[in-house]
Amino acid sequence: MQEFSRSANLAFQTGRKMRGELFQEILISAQYRLLALEAEESHRNPPLVDSMVEMGMLAFSTVTFLQIEGLPIHTEDFATKLRQLLDSLASSGSSHPALKENEPDQAALLPGETEVFLKLKLWLFFMGYNSVLDQPKHQQFVSFGISETMGALGLSTWTAVRDVLMAHMWVDWTHKTKGKALVESILVNQVKSQRYE
């Protein structure tokens, strides 16, 4: 799916189109594999990381492969599970060995969180927002989570946020419009709240 993301961005930048058969093959292959995922005891990642990646890929595939313009997919069960996972991230931190690599020396990080974890968390928030957490009842939760994570990573522009997202799975032509609008809204609200402080 990450390779598809890279290919889709390259095709968009160069004005080329992906063959329909290739797109369908990726869609079917990725969807079946995601739905058939089972946790393996020998897996190197901690369960929380596996859950973040699995839910993020499901959200990515939902909006990238299945959503038709003007006909949004709202699956309440998936939205509830994704929101519960994002809620749990606030208290879990990232003291997991699999996330200790590239740990920055930044005072801005939340207690127990690494840069790797925060970037994955930011990507998951955006995947959730682009797929099933864009409804008004989730807006404040998502905005706060993204704002907090951006602050912990020291990100203050859409370009900086986009660079983080592009390092994961992000297709500009599908995700950029909503993502950019959300970040700009968050940044405007931050400026307003600083004026009143």
Mean of the pLDDT values across residues 3-15? 71
CB of 85 within 8 A of CB of 103?
no
Mean of the pLDDT values across residues 45-65? 78
More confident residue, 24 or 95: 24
- Provide the angle, in degrees to the nearest 10, between the axes of the packed helices 47-61 and 20-35: 150
> How many percent of the chain have pLDDT more than 70?
67
pLDDT of 196 above 50: yes
> Per-residue confidence at 38, pLDDT binned at 50, 70, 90?
low
What's the 3-state SS for the chain?
CHHHHHHHHHHHHHCCCCCHHHHHHHHHHHHHHHHCCCCCCCCCCCHHHHHHHHHHHHHHHHHHHHCECCECCCCHHHHHHHHHHHHHHHHHCCCCHHHCCCCCCCCCCCCCCCHHHHHHHHHHHHHHHHHCCCCHHHHHHHHHHHHHHHHHHCCCCHHHHHHHHHCCCCCHHHHHHHHHHHHHHHHHHHHHHHHHC
| Interatomic CA distance for residues 138 and 129, integer angstroms | 9
> How many percent of the chain have pLDDT more than 90?
28
| Interatomic CA distance for residues 126 and 118, integer angstroms | 12
| Interatomic CA distance for residues 122 and 29, integer angstroms | 26
- Least confident window among 47-51, 70-74, 86-90: 70-74
Mean of the pLDDT values across residues 40-69? 70
Q: Which of 69-73, 85-89, 105-109 has the highest mean pLDDT?
A: 85-89
- Least confident window among 101-115, 131-145, 155-169: 101-115
